[in-house]
Amino acid sequence: MMLVSLITAGYVGLGVRLVDIQVLQHDKHAAHALDNTRRKVIQASRRGDILDIRGTVLATSRIAKTVCADPSLMGTHQQLVARAIAPFLGRGETDLAKRMQRRVYTDAEGRQREDKHVVLKRKVLLEDWRGITNALAHIEFGVDVKSLPRKERLKYYNVRRSVFCERIDSQLRVYPSGNLAAHVTGFVGVRDPEGSSVPMVGLEGKHGIEIMLDSELEGVRGWRETETDRSRREVVAFREYNVKPRDGMNVVLTIDANVQYIVEKGLEALCAKHTPASACIVVVNPRTGAILALANRPTFDPNKPGDSNAANRRNRVITDVFEPGSTFKIVAVSGALNEGVVRLHDRFHCENGRLYFAGKVLRDHHAYGELSVREIITKSSNIGTAKVAMKLGASRLHKYISELGFGQRSGVPLPGEVRGILHPVRNWSKLSISRIPMGHEIAATPLQLVMAMSAMANGGNLMRPLLVDRLVDRDGNVVMQYEPTVVRKVIHDETAQQMVKTLITVVSAEGTARQAWLENYTVAGKTGTAQKPSKTRRGYEAGKYFSSFIGFLPAENPKLCIGVFVDEPHNGHYGGVVAAPTFKVIAEKSANYLGLEASMPVKPMSEQKPRVVLR
Amino acid sequence: MPRNRKKHDSPLSVGSWIRAVLLCLFLGGTAMGYVWQKSQIHQIGTEVRKKEVRLELLKGDNERWQQVRAEMRSTQNLYDRVRKLGLGLTMPQPEQVLRLSDLPLDAKELKQSKPGEYRTVANKPRRKRP
């Protein structure tokens, strides 16, 4: 009877406990059980590629792993594990073994905890990770593990699984062409999940197109809710939600990698010869505003952006402003021609090189007498340009400067573009009307100057710089096509034609840019040599110049507009001496590469002297 | 006695026995089927997982080869190869470029071509639009 009572009481107790667990504490235990098996896995999307107009890859992504270790599972085999995996991680064995030593830390509640998650290396490529898993599977412990008792065997088994990778894949951004178009592509960095709107670690654009089109390149991440077994392997049958990631779009730029290469090489040669503080070159198709090449010196390698300083990473084509000097003369003269206040054959007396105006002397580099408007541009007379501008008037001059895009951002999709400096007419001094036309008292970016010259070349239309041609998905379907945009019509076609004819004379025997002359193409352009304003006092710095040449070809049907800008050159400082020869090299090679039709009649091969190619 | 028991009429008829057996077979079959189906689901799940891992590896390989191709096709690499192999390749000069203008067969007259320009006549007349 006693026994029956005890058994009954036991059963009642068990029943009560059962009800307690299954009913009263159901939610708690169910949540705990789910927590043990349920996993939510974030699937990162693949960042899109950046391509040039011909499909050359400028930036691409590769799946990478973050390799971690749990030292608590290693026992005393750190050195053995380090030896096996060190070749794949590119780190020293000793360093790795030291990093995998067991260590204890104090958590927020003051408890001592063992560190079970040590990051060994981020961005480990998939093939290296495969090598690591293979090496771990074949570690030799010097004992026959299979013959050991289960408990001992488990220890060795744990050593093999002590190195693992994080569940979320990371990506490695690769720029196969190195520093080619580095300032255009930009670079990426690791997103800080706390400071970002997206609470997960991943890549984030930090510069160039990478930052401007970050959301398009990044894509949409996916996620999966699933369950795992005791060995933490996924049980696919219990997979509930599986939202696949949508890869980022590929960005196709208007940049042509070959033209870019020609430009980079030209810039390198220029820097070797003139050792400037900085230099930059922009190549634009004046009809569409498409940027074919954009290069800066100093530069950086986007694969290792941390190795360079901020000055190297600055895209001077849009972030730096300069007093442009004589290249700016095209604005005053085209404005005056457009308004009909002067004609090309009108003559102005250039005061034999010295003009007293508003208490100051305005000088020319040669003592010119009477010059026509065309000759003023050909010979780059400051006094002649000032007189033309005075005829145009301050307000109309300001209007043309403004309409040609100075003092406002061009809208190129690159970060850090500045407006430049253009003071309102009310703030102009008496001297301004004589100084601004020759490119002083105003500051412009190299890109603004090239776009203004492109407007002269294409019939008077100011184009918006086009850097992105299209966005395409992973299957190559065009998602978005960017079309050339005319910002405004600034000067009439006839005026533009007159300007082209005038600018052709600059690149001739009597002009300032004879070194930019090409054998097979008619070139039009304008040189610029500006003294640099002093940073410490009023006036200009002696011996410091900003030299430039902006030209286009073929002049009768322009396909290329090239701007060469050199800051503080040595071994010469005139734009015609420093910048024009580089223009010539780039223009000749680019025109040949693009197959531009020659302007001049081409002699048959038989009539030509043999050409010796020097290497 | 046992003989007599054998001769006793069974309380269950043959039909009942058959039904019971069929029911047992059905239940057993269902259970077996259930287990088999679960096993299949698990097996397929494992295969799906393996294939996903394989797909991931292949994607990784694909990306690796894409990168290799991109590096090989990079302008810098091509120029370096040309220089290293001493191929003597240079950009074509304008005088080395022959421009072909393909004129339709029904063109009334062939215009004077520029020096260095070669004009051909198309083999087929241009099709008229319907």
Give the domain CATH number at A339: 3.40.710.10
Residues A541 and A437 in one domain: yes
CB-nearest partner of A63 from B63, B71, B115: B63
A245 and A262 share a domain?
no
Across the interface, of A239, A589, A608, the residue whose CB is closest to B95 is: A608
**Residue B94 CB partners (closer than 8 Å, separation 6+):** A520, A591, A592, A598, A602, B116
In a domain, A54, yes or no: yes
Task: Give the model's pLDDT for residue A427.
Answer: 93
Cβ–Cβ < 8 Å for A162, A74: yes
- State both tokens at A90: 């590119």
Same domain? For A135 and A237 the reply is: yes
Give the pLDDT score at A449: 96
> Nearest chain B Cα to A264, which residue?
B76
Task: Give the sign of the dihedral formed by CA B89, CA B93, CA B96, CA B101.
Answer: positive
Q: Is residue A329 domain-shared with residue A418, that is, in the same domain?
A: yes
Which residues, given as ranges, of chain A have pLDDT below 70? 193-201, 600-615
Provide CB contacts within 8 A for A217, sequence distance 6+.
A47, A48, A50, A205, A210, A248, A249, A251
The distance of B1 to chain A (nearest Cα, Å) reads: 40
Determine whether the interchain pair A261/B70 forms a contact, defined as Cβ–Cβ distance below 8 Å: no
Cis previous bond, A298, omega within 30: yes
CA dihedral A65, A66, A67, A69 (to 10 degrees): -150
Greater confidence (A151 vs B101) lies with: A151
Predicted local distance difference test score (pLDDT) of residue A605: 44
CB contact under 8 A, A176 and B99: no
B18 interfacial to chain A (CB closer than 8 Å)? no
Last residue of a domain, one of A203, A229, A253: A253
d(CA B86, CA A443): 47
The CA angle A82-A86-A87, to the nearest 5 degrees, is 150
Mark which residues 27-46 of B lie under 8 Å from A by CB.
41-42, 44-46
Q: In 3-state terms, what secondary structure has residue A53?
A: coil
Specify which residues A548 forms β-bridges with.
A528, A565
- Residue A352 parent element (H or E): none
Query: What is the rounded CA–CA span in Å between residue A201 and residue A454?
Result: 44
Nearest by CB: B91 against A130, A234, A589: A589
Domain presence at residue A484? yes
Whether residues A458 and A387 fall in one domain: yes
Residue of A nearest to B89 (CA): A613
Burial A345-377 (b: 16+ CB within 10 A, else e): ebebebbebebebeeeebebeeebeebbbbbbb
Of A238, A253, A268, which residue constitutes the final position of a domain?
Answer: A253
Q: Is A585 on the interface with B (CB under 8 A)?
A: no
Q: Nearest CA of chain A to the CA of B9: how many Å?
A: 41
What pLDDT shows up at residue A538? 80
In a domain? residue A97:
no
Domain membership flag for residue A34: no
- Same domain for A456 and A597? yes
Q: Which of B42, B63, B79 sits opposite A237 (nearest CB)?
A: B42
In a domain, A392, yes or no: yes
Q: Element (H or E) spanning A522, and its range?
A: none
Residues A249, A304 share a domain: no
- Round to whole Å and give the CA distance between A484 and A478: 17
What local confidence, expressed as pLDDT, does residue A353 receive? 86
Whether A243 has its CB under 8 Å from any CB of chain B: the answer is: no
Asked whether residue A566 falls in the same domain as residue A482, the answer is: yes
pLDDT tens digits, residue range A53-94? Answer: 999 999 998 888 889 999 988 888 889 899 999 999 988 889
- For A358, phi then psi, to 5°, come to 50, 40
Q: Considering CB atoms only, which of B64, B75, B83 is closest to A177?
A: B75
Name the DSSP class of A466. Answer: B
| Residue A27, helix vs strand vs coil | helix
B75 touches B93 (CB < 8 A): no
Whether residue A265 is found in the same domain as residue A227: no
Average pLDDT (B11-32) is 91
At A309 the pLDDT is 92
For residue A228, what is the domain's CATH number?
3.90.1310.10
Q: Are A180 and B79 in contact (CB under 8 A)?
A: no
If you search the block for the tokens 């107009």, which residue do you land on?
A53
Across chain B, mean pLDDT equals 77
Q: Do B115 and A125 touch (CB under 8 A)?
A: no
Is B95's CB within 8 Å of A605's CB? yes
What is the residue whose two structure tokens read 């006092």? A537
**Bridge pairing between strands B117-121 and B99-103:** parallel
Q: Cβ neighbours of residue A376 under 8 Å, at least 6 residues apart?
A: A329, A333, A348, A350, A384, A385, A388
Output DSSP code: residue A518: -
- The residue among A45, A52, A126, A238 with the most chain B CBs within 10 A of its CB, best to mutate, is A126
Domain assignment present for residue A613? The answer is: no
Q: Is A62 an 8 Å CB contact of chain B?
A: yes
The span from the CA of A342 to the CA of B91, in Å, is: 44
pLDDT at A608: 44
Report the pLDDT value the prediction gives residue A263, as an integer from 0 to 100.
Answer: 96
Domain count, chain A: 2
* Same-domain pairing of A409 and A312: yes
A103 belongs to a structural domain = no
Could you give the CA distance from residue A233 to residue A228 in angstroms, rounded to a whole number?
A: 5
Residue A174 near chain B (CB below 8 Å): yes
State the residue range of the domain holding A73: 39-90+117-253
Say which DSSP state A213 is in. T
Q: Is the peptide bond before A554 cis (omega within 30 degrees of 0)?
A: yes
Considering the domain architecture, whether residues A234 and A304 belong to the same structural domain is answered as no
CB A55 within 8 A of CB A253: no
A593 domain-assigned: yes
Q: Do A261 and B56 touch (CB under 8 A)?
A: no
Q: Looking up tokens 């299949």, which residue turns up? A: B40
Q: Do B70 and A60 touch (CB under 8 A)?
A: yes
- Provide the 8-state DSSP code for A195: T
3-state secondary structure of A221: coil
Q: Which residues of A409-423 are buried (b: 16+ CB within 10 A; e: fewer)?
A: ebbbbbbebebbebe
Using a CB–CB cutoff of 8 Å, tell me whether A236 touches chain B: yes
Q: How far is CA A325 from the centre of its chain?
A: 28
Residue B128 has pLDDT above 60, yes or no: no
Q: Do B73 and A56 touch (CB under 8 A)?
A: yes
**Boundary of a domain, candidates A196, A229, A253:** A253
Nearest CA in chain A to B75: A258
A575 and A549 share one domain: yes
Inter-chain contacts counted by CB atoms under 8 A, chains A and B:
103
Residue B129 has pLDDT above 80, yes or no: no
| Cβ contact, residue pair B60, A608, below 8 Å | no
